[in-house]
Amino acid sequence: MRPVLAQARIELVLTLRRGESLLLTLGIPVLLLAFFSLVDVLPTEGAAPDPVDFLAPGVLGLAVMSTAMVGLGIATGFERQYGVLKRLGATPLGRPALLAAKTGSVVALEGVQVVVLVPISLALGWSPGSRTVLAVAGIVLGTIAFAGIGLALAGSLRGEVNLAALNGLYLVLLLLGGMVIPLDELPAGLAALARLLPAAALSEVLHGTIGSADGVPATAWLVLAGWAVLAPAVAAITFRWD
């Protein structure tokens, strides 16, 4: 356990030292939360009476996606391309322990995001819902799903291609995920397609548990659980260490 904890601490410290990682995991979520809560330009009236009541759960979902999919995927992709991953996997630490350490660093960073984002949301006037346990369950499923997607791309694409693919996917899921723009504001066909994606499923779970929405659609739980099973399975099959 000590080698895993030591490697997890190293992974977390390296992530926090990278400026681009801090921008992705904390800078962008805080900026979106503060800006769109204070500047009334988003069509959130139907989703919540106060913009921050809609934005806070969505931005927490965005933070999970940023850390578990984009941050983990980009770092792993370049480690794989430069041979770092293969060397670490051949050390006494071993590949399973290395993956456990990476998972631990993702969970720790998500804890940092919650510590930063929740107080800011409360200061902006957020009135959170009370179904916190269900929200945590949704975050766990979302973390597994997004990490699976990130590792599937990182383990099969070159570092530069993986970087571009994850950034492009991040932008698409940000726009279609119901995290900043309500799903009901999208065209009907596009909204139906978006609800099949993990970002929209996670945002619906968070809006229905700690947001102002009236409950969580059963389909959102099913879609999120399905991605949490499918994405890691694909990553396990397709991942290459070198």
Give the C-alpha distances (Å, rounded to integers) separating 55 from 22, 60, 92, 146, 158: 20, 9, 45, 20, 35
The angle at the Cα of 62, spanning 60 to 65, to the nearest 5 degrees, equals 115
Q: pLDDT (tens digit, 9 = 90+) per residue, 80-90?
A: 888 887 777 67
Q: Is the pLDDT of residue 239 over 90?
A: no
Give the C-alpha distances (Å, rounded to integers) separating 236 from 144, 155, 175, 222: 13, 9, 28, 21
Tokens 């659980």 correspond to 225
Q: pLDDT (tens digit, 9 = 90+) per residue, 49-59?
A: 688 899 999 99
All residues at 6 or more sequence positions from 66 whose CB lies less than 8 Å from its CB, including other chains? 24, 25, 28, 29, 170
**b/e 97-112 (16+ beta carbons within 10 angstroms → b):** bbbbbbbbbbbbbbeb
- The DSSP symbol for 183 reads G
Look at residue 7 in the predicted model and tell me its pLDDT: 79
Would you state the structure tokens that stand for residue 184, as one six-digit string? 């009901």
Look at residue 43 in the predicted model and tell me its pLDDT: 66
Q: What's the chain's length in residues? A: 242
Look at residue 68 in the predicted model and tell me its pLDDT: 92
Look at residue 136 in the predicted model and tell me its pLDDT: 95
Q: pLDDT (tens digit, 9 = 90+) per residue, 115-161?
A: 999 999 999 999 898 899 999 999 999 999 999 999 999 988 998 99
Percent of the chain with pLDDT over 70: 95
Q: pLDDT (tens digit, 9 = 90+) per residue, 108-121?
A: 899 999 999 999 99
Q: How many Cβ atoms are within 10 Å of 113's Cβ, its own excluded?
A: 21
* pTM of the predicted protein model: 0.89
d(CA 121, CA 52): 7
Q: Is the dihedral of CA 104, 108, 111, 116 positive or negative?
A: negative
The angle at the Cα of 106, spanning 140 to 100, to the nearest 5 degrees, equals 90
* Residue type, position 87, single letter: R
Q: Where is pLDDT greater, at 189 or 14?
A: 189
Average predicted confidence (pLDDT) for the chain: 88
Task: Check: CB of residue 155 under 8 Å from CB of residue 76.
Answer: yes
Q: pLDDT (tens digit, 9 = 90+) per residue, 92-106?
A: 777 777 777 888 888
Task: Check: CB of residue 212 under 8 Å from CB of residue 48.
Answer: yes
Q: Is the pLDDT of residue 205 over 80?
A: yes
